[in-house]
Structure 1
Amino acid sequence: MAHYSIKELEHLSGIKAHTLRIWEQRYQLLQPKRTATNIRYYDDADLKNLLNVALLYQEGYKISKIAQLPPTQVAEEVLKLTENELGQEQFINQLIVAMVELNEVLFERVLSRAILQLGFQQSVRLVVYPFLSKIGLLWQTANITPAHEHFMSQLIRQKMLVAIDALPVQQDKSAPRIVLYLPEGELHEVALLFGHYLFRSAGFSTLYLGQHLPFCDLLGAVKQFKPDYVFSVFTTPVFKVPISEYLEELVEKTTLRQVLVCGAMLQYFPADALPEKVTCFKSIDEMEQWLQCHTAEEAAKK
């Protein structure tokens, strides 16, 4: 059973902690438990009910009316709402509920609906990435287990693979070529898969090598495939040497036009700390802008 603080509920629901305290005192909407040392906490049932309450509240329901409903009826009202188009926060909240419950049917339904309503690329931008950002706090406080992480990441991965598979493989031999991989020890594949989708959508000839690729095998693939670019994601501190040294060696041992990178480990890297041929994307927007400029440049050459 997970234990959530009121600040964690604020982070996940979008409802300010002081508002939650008012709701708790005035309407008994939340009923905190206490540890053996008398510290207040909330459990999974509280989180799921609050996420549903937040959804109704954001849709204009009065909190005094919501508070009169048992959690089962609150959930029923949410289901009625989902018959219409959902907003970004509604999608995200429902994904959190599905993850906490390990409810594959709900997770699949919400994610599929987001893709149908928003399109794949916008769903990743507006729903999947904000969802992953919100639950990042839960990794830190151990309220999410490896089972939760594997459950939701595999379902997201499946959606991305379907979207990539729907794109045509580039046949034009003059198309820009790119190798996509994760360095040795790196296993978080969602961002790499999204990159694969974006590059293939932009007309690149892609070679996807996936997770945990040793440096020597990367060099071998680059030598054989002869790409213009490589793309990688640096999420976890798995390196025995500084990332800047790793990238410097990659630049020195290849004839790549550019090395394209992103990820949490690079978020606060100053641009001048990276080799000249390395481009670091700090956001999806930056990556999409780079692709737009690249596509325009390639079109101008023809």
Structure 2
Amino acid sequence: MNNIKSKFSIKDLENLSGIKAHTIRIWEKRYNLFEPNRTDTNIRYYSLSSLQKILNISYLNNNGYKISKIANLSSKQIPAFVNEIANKNNNNNHSVNQLKIAMINFDQSLFYKTYNDLISEISFSKIFYNVFIPLLDEIGLLWQTNTITPAHEHFIVELIKQKIILNTEKALSNFKVSKKANTYILFLPENEVHELGLLFTNYQLTNSGFHSIYLGGSVPLESLDFLTSQYNDITFISSFTVKPDKDQIEKYLSKFSNTLLKDSNNKLIVSGRMTSLIDNQTNPKIIVCNSTKEVIENLQQV
């Protein structure tokens, strides 16, 4: 059975393209840009080709093309103009749009083609910051508005995860140990599994020649306590996306500090959505960051 989403409401088009539904309706009536279908109960819906077209139109419009000019282009000219501009300007918005289509269609081939085109032009770090992070930010909003399902999110996240792991393996094949003595231990607290940012941080550390130990998701503090008997000058790195719970964050950090940081040179760097709930963090050994990029910037100073 084919479960690929092929019918889109005008609200879906708005959420995916960033163009207001009211504007889409005006363009539809004035320029005949789209031909919506109707269900048996007379509800309008749009096809996958309409979604691709609105993404391309949005891209051209954002790059200075007036809608009246776009309306005069043929169905073959529109994507050709998009590719021409994308190749000339090295614009990442087109890549983000392509990855959205790959996600909607569960299309691994399109994901790999888009990624391979990018990696031939820019570094993996730039792909992560300039393409993957904007894509993931949009995916969060699309999921909240029911434009996509959790399955779509899991599909694209797992593909991105594969690329991070692949690039980490490449970095390890050329690994040269830095003179820096620190050990970096990357982990997620118990019942936390959102690890993309942590995986990328591990890639950056490995690529820079630092000794990192990646423990992954749902790690109890007791496991970390054992490592303090094996290494000195540890920088722990974590991300709180859904855990610890709101009313447990301060307690968790206090226990972490008393168990793993007290009377040592150890530090903790933490990021993630839940860190916005941390009040009056004054422990100099705990650094709270707003993003993965900020975590990596702090690592350069540790």
TM-score (norm 2): 0.81
What is the root-mean-square deviation of aligned Cα atoms in Å? 3.1
Measure, in 2, the Cα distance between the counterparts of 1:41 and 1:277: 54
1:135 aligns with 2:139: yes
Q: Check if 1:219 corresponds to 2:228.
A: no
The one-letter code sitting in structure 1 at the alignment partner of 2:141 is L
The residue number in structure 2 matching 1:197 is: 203
Matches of 2:192 and 2:74 in 1, distance apart? 44
Q: In structure 2, what is the Cα distance between the partners aligned to 1:129 and 1:68?
A: 34
Q: Quick one: distance in 2 between partners of 1:51 and 1:286?
A: 31
Q: What does the per-residue CA deviation read over 1:227-249, in whole Å, with 9 as the maximum and x for residues that have no partner?
A: 52110111124648512211221
After superposition, the C-alpha distances for 1:32-68 in whole angstroms (9 at most, x for unaligned) are 5678998766564432321122233344555345445
Give the AA of the match of 1:97.
I
Is 2:214 the counterpart of 1:208?
yes
Residue 252 of structure 1 corresponds to: 258
Matches of 1:219 and 1:36, distance apart in 2: 63
Cα 1:66–1:291 shift into 2, 3 Å: same
Per-residue CA distance 1:89-138 (angstroms, 9 max, x = gap): 11111111111111111111112222332211111111110010011112
| 1:152 is the counterpart of 2:160 | no
Q: Does the Cα contact within 8 Å between 2:184 and 2:212 map onto a contact in 1? A: yes
Aligned residues: 292
8 Å CA contact retained: 1:230, 1:258: yes
For residues 32 and 289 of structure 2, the distance between their equivalents in structure 1, rounded to whole angstroms, comes to 46
Q: Any stretches of 5+ residues in structure 2 without a counterpart? A: none
Identity %: 37
Structure 2 residue identity aligned to 1:29: L
Which residue of structure 2 lines up, in the alignment, with residue 297 of structure 1? none
Query: What is the DSSP-based 3-state SS (H/G/I as helix, E as strand, rest coil) of the residue aligned with 1:152?
Result: helix
Distance 1:223 1:4, change over 3 A: farther
- Paired position in structure 1 for 2:270: 261
Which sits farther off after the overlay, 166-175 or 128-137?
166-175
SS at match of 2:260: coil
- Decide whether aligned partners of structure 1 residues 43 and 252 sit closer, same or farther in structure 2, where only a CA change above 3 A counts: farther
- Whichever residue aligns with residue 132 of structure 1, its letter is L
CA contact (8 A) 1:180 1:230 kept: yes
The amino acid across from 1:143 in the alignment is T
- SS of the residue corresponding to residue 194 of structure 2 reads coil
CA contact (8 A) 2:102 2:108 kept: yes
Cα distance change of structure 1 residues 49 and 227 upon mapping to structure 2, 3 Å threshold: farther
Please name the residue that 1:300 is paired with.
Answer: none
* Deviation by residue 1:213-235 (Cα, 9 ceiling, x = unmatched): 23322322343344521101111
Q: CA 1:37/1:274 → structure 2, altered by over 3 Å: closer, same or farther?
A: farther
Amino acid at match of 1:291: L
Distance 1:65 1:174, change over 3 A: closer
Query: What is the one-letter code of the residue matched to 2:194?
Result: H
- Secondary structure class of the residue paired with 1:117: coil
* Distance in 2 (alpha carbons) for counterparts of 1:210 and 1:72: 46
Query: If the length of structure 1 is used for normalisation, what is the TM-score?
Result: 0.81
Change (3 A) 1:103 1:217: same
Contact 1:24 1:30 in 2 (8 A): yes
Q: Partner amino acid for 1:272?
A: N
Aligned residue for 1:142, secondary structure, equals: coil
Distance 1:33 1:106 in 2: 26
Summarize the Cα distance change of 1:23–1:274 in structure 2 as closer, same or farther, 3 Å threshold.
farther
Per the alignment, in what secondary structure is the counterpart of residue 288 of structure 2? strand
What is residue 285 of structure 2 aligned with on the other side?
A: 277
Q: Is 1:293 the counterpart of 2:297 in the alignment?
A: no
Offset, 1:174: 4.6
Gaps of 5+ in 1: 295-302
Paired position in structure 1 for 2:125: 121
**In the TM superposition, what is the alpha-carbon distance from 1:287 to its structure 2 partner?**
2.7
